Amino acid sequence: MAKVDNDMEEYLSRHTSPMADTLMELTRFTYLSTCNPRMISGPIQGKFLQLLCNISRPNRILEVGTFTGYTSICMALGSPPHTVIDTIEVNDELEETIQTYTSMAGVDSKIRLHLGDACQIIPTLDYTYDFAYIDGDKREYPEYYKLVLPKVNSGGLIIADNVLWGGKVVDASENDEHTKALRAFNTMVQNDMGVENVLLPLRDGIMLIYKL
């Protein structure tokens, strides 16, 4: 199966618009310098987010979980020049990497980096958003949703990553804290009458949410 998956991923990449050179450099740096490089979104998911921003033209974006800045750059490249991205990262050791590569990509003026716990920072942000991307601590997804949803304008989008969690969400024998929280999040979204949503099997699962 690994061979098939790799072949399919390569095929998908060959039939997706190429990523910017800065993102290729950032990917290489992330794999050389971080403990969990697979946390980086990658070209297909990154391009998906970029195109969503191309389409929705958000004025302000909220991102939970910056990591090394890959998705921040993708969303910035896809959004209008005036767009502001508030991105939150708990690991302050990544600050220099984020600032270096957002500057290299020419989008640093769009990005406001907040370091710390997203559950504490989100309530302090006195803005509303047209677009939100959730990719932080999986155990906090239900709480992220409760905090982010009121800040998203009607007609806005919320994207949540890793909602399939390697298929564990459909395996009844899997009951670790991450899996349980993601199941709770998926159920919470599905039962929310104030949104429309679709769960896409893109990479590790993306929940696309439209706020009514």
Which residues have CB under 8 Å from 25's CB, separation 6+? 101, 104
Torsion angle (degrees, nearest 10) of CA 43, 48, 51, 57: -120
Which fold does the domain 2-211 belong to in CATH? Rossmann fold (3.40.50)
pLDDT at 180 over 60: yes
Cα–Cα nearest to 113, from 71, 147, 69 = 69
**pLDDT reported for residue 2:** 43
**pLDDT reported for residue 8:** 85
**pLDDT reported for residue 7:** 84
* Angle at CA of residue 97, ends 136 and 148, nearest 5°: 25
How confident is the model over 86-141, as pLDDT tens digits?
Answer: 999 999 999 999 999 999 999 999 999 999 999 999 999 999 999 999 999 999 99
Q: What strands, in cross-sheet order, belong to the sheet with 60-64?
A: 111-115, 84-89, 60-64, 129-134, 152-161, 206-211, 195-200
Please report, for the chain, the start and end positions of each structural domain, with discontinuous segments joined by +: 2-211
